Chains A and B, each alone.
Chain A
């Protein structure tokens, strides 16, 4: 089995400011993100040979992308994989380039959530697997199940557990305060977190990420062509995706203190990228902190922390922007926001900028290898994508 390592490079990226973009249509956001990426890569629309669209709730066919961008009768693929949709679009584009089917491909992720008129995410009930005989489950409740169990298994009182989780939110808000494209750009205190309204016990408001509008785009090319586009391309080292069989909802063997898909996806990605000690070899990570507890368990599942030791590492500041392994330097889903189809590519946008040394006030010192972790579904029934990229071939 071959690896994608060093076969594909990212040479241009774009991302709009995420948020309640009431003044922007889905087309506006696609155009702004894609054209920022064209400009960054120094290409024009006509140079694109194939495109992938990651988008969950708005449309059918690749027309949603081809129409605003006026793509010229090229192949366009519409992908979706719940909250991991953005990474799925990237995978499609990268594999096409790696296969030689095309040399220059575009991946765009976009979501328009603030036109629904309600809080949270729309219902997703694919008709092929329809069952109304399932519990009503909002995403915060689905992830809160993991917080309740993690607290219980690690002997944390609810107060202790919530205080620990609040540190994750405070860190991500601090990072977000340095990011002009983030949905939320204010710092918060531990007390503000602890006193916030309950959403899904034990998770309260600041344990939950923003629901946002947004779009992000990437131009990927053959690695051997990359330097002809720019001096500082970013090379793809690994692209893995792990789809669980929804076993955790049915099998008592699943413990609700980790996400098996994340654990397995991490192992596969490290193998593909040739990484043996992720905690040391990964410089920065953008992970799917849809909820504070998710970020905590990801630290263990991706082997950044030893099993059961994430609380210690969080308390010691390991994942803060000046820590040993900065996590979610752009504010993460918590503050950058979570326009579902765009999120995977937004993560890559931050890693890309950091590896190029262009992350402004939040620039981490000399990162070489970055990781994105993008998750769809819930604990027990997830799909997880891990991408690893580096600035050296």
Chain B
């Protein structure tokens, strides 16, 4: 039976207290905080981060497909999953596919993967869901919603949980939407969204599913779902006899927010990271209908440890205490730019981007077969022994690294000055110059431990320029 082999989650390190938003707009505050993707993150980079955690212990050659689910893909025409597969260095015969335009795209992609695996067409499928949704400043949803990503590796062998069934129900309703002409999400009147949207649709679906499979609330240890209002979720599931305090997986509401297409899967990761063998988890993914996924942990769940659990990531954070900074990150206000050369002069060309897809993009360099020196970017003539074309591929993305030296550059064009230019020396050899992200200025020290993270350098001329940055390694925080 198909199931889950591994999971991973990504929560952006910056958290904005909801009270800060309330204070800024002189409105009533909600408790807790929301995760705010850094200015150099988007749904694709967050998806890569979750996928890297999920694949940490996995042989990449076993991955047959990558399904990427989001409502906020960086390009509306041009596949995100293919770019992610190149960054993750998945085999070139990996099937890649984007699942878009619905909050249910994450659970939907799991369903599609499940069918493919159960039919025998594919062995292992990586499903990655990620969202960075933009609501109008001062809207309720701005306060409710946050950013994040989750990844499941699905397959038949060595599963930590089996998927017992997947039910799907559609429902056409105009409750939350964004047309092709809009930047901000729109919502219908609050009560309508809650009661006729989420509440009615998920209630009908859960009722159907419980009846069909002859299950009751007591058969599940956890329920994982996606909606901005925890009270509505609690009210709904109480009706079926669930005890919300114990059974509802809802750490996200207080610490992260509603993460859209990623939320139900992020909750499921949290549930799995804290589950015992032989426990059932119900995942109800909402959005123009409802998907119900029934997960049941195997005995292997005891041996599974995430690269970094959701609960650990909840604790690992930097407070974002300046609302203006958030507005600038999302380009919601236009501020005076520095008198510097226009970014257009650095517009990537599709030709150069394409040439660099196999190596540079994945932070993959070369190691000299004559003298063994790792080097990035990929070289043809060794910088140490000058041997020509005697190299093997050498990946730097997961190597530990140390900060040789740095500068905080206040002159460079960025949405979040200064740029922390860093000289990064890798364990085992090799060096790159790159920006440091997810860092506080006074935290940066010569010799500090670093890790690499895939980010957006800048956007210009309709092209997102993705590459790698370093960030403080976990033990620095």
Binding site for B on A (CB under 8 A): 116-120, 122-123, 125, 130-138, 140-142, 144-149, 152, 197-203, 245, 247, 249-252, 254, 256, 380
The reply to whether A144 and B409 contact each other, CB–CB distance below 8 Å, is yes
Per the bound structure, the CA–CA distance linking A309 and B210 in Å amounts to: 79
Contacts of A249 in B (CB 8 A): 431-433
B244 CB within 8 Å of chain A: no
Contacts of B435 in A (CB 8 A): 135-136
Contacts of B29 in A (CB 8 A): none
B400-454 residues at the A interface, CB under 8 angstroms: 404-414, 418-419, 421-423, 425-426, 429-435, 446-447
The reply to whether B407 and A200 contact each other, CB–CB distance below 8 Å, is yes
The reply to whether A136 and B412 contact each other, CB–CB distance below 8 Å, is yes
Besides A130-B349, A252-B430, 12 more A-B contacts (Cβ < 8 Å) are: A118-B341, A132-B347, A138-B411, A140-B409, A141-B411, A147-B407, A149-B404, A198-B410, A201-B409, A251-B375, A252-B404, A256-B405
Per the bound structure, the CA–CA distance linking A120 and B411 in Å amounts to: 9
B376 CB within 8 Å of chain A: yes
Contacts of A146 in B (CB 8 A): 405
Binding site for A on B (CB under 8 A): 338-341, 345-349, 352-353, 356, 360-361, 373, 375-377, 379, 383-384, 404-414, 418-419, 421-423, 425-426, 429-435, 446-447, 457-458, 465, 467
Known interface pairs A152-B446, A250-B376; A119-B338 also in contact (CB < 8 Å)? yes
The reply to whether B421 and A141 contact each other, CB–CB distance below 8 Å, is yes
The binding surface of chain A is classed by DSSP as loop
Known interface pairs A130-B352, A152-B446, A251-B384; A137-B433 also in contact (CB < 8 Å)? yes
Known interface pairs A132-B353, A136-B414; A250-B423 also in contact (CB < 8 Å)? no
The reply to whether A131 and B360 contact each other, CB–CB distance below 8 Å, is yes
Known interface pairs A122-B341, A145-B421; A133-B361 also in contact (CB < 8 Å)? yes
Known interface pairs A131-B356, A133-B360, A152-B446; A144-B341 also in contact (CB < 8 Å)? no
The reply to whether A123 and B431 contact each other, CB–CB distance below 8 Å, is no
CB distance from B467 to the nearest CB of A (A): 5
Contacts of A130 in B (CB 8 A): 349, 352
Within 8 Å by CB of B383, from A122, A140, A247, lies A247
The reply to whether B465 and A251 contact each other, CB–CB distance below 8 Å, is no
Contacts of B447 in A (CB 8 A): 152
CB distance from A52 to the nearest CB of B (A): 28
Known interface pairs A125-B346, A250-B376, A256-B404; A117-B353 also in contact (CB < 8 Å)? no
The reply to whether A141 and B383 contact each other, CB–CB distance below 8 Å, is no
Within 8 Å by CB of A251, from B339, B383, B419, B467, lies B383
The reply to whether A141 and B407 contact each other, CB–CB distance below 8 Å, is yes
Per the bound structure, the CA–CA distance linking A142 and B406 in Å amounts to: 9
The reply to whether B433 and A138 contact each other, CB–CB distance below 8 Å, is no
The reply to whether B352 and A119 contact each other, CB–CB distance below 8 Å, is no
Contacts of B406 in A (CB 8 A): 145, 148
The reply to whether B346 and A200 contact each other, CB–CB distance below 8 Å, is no
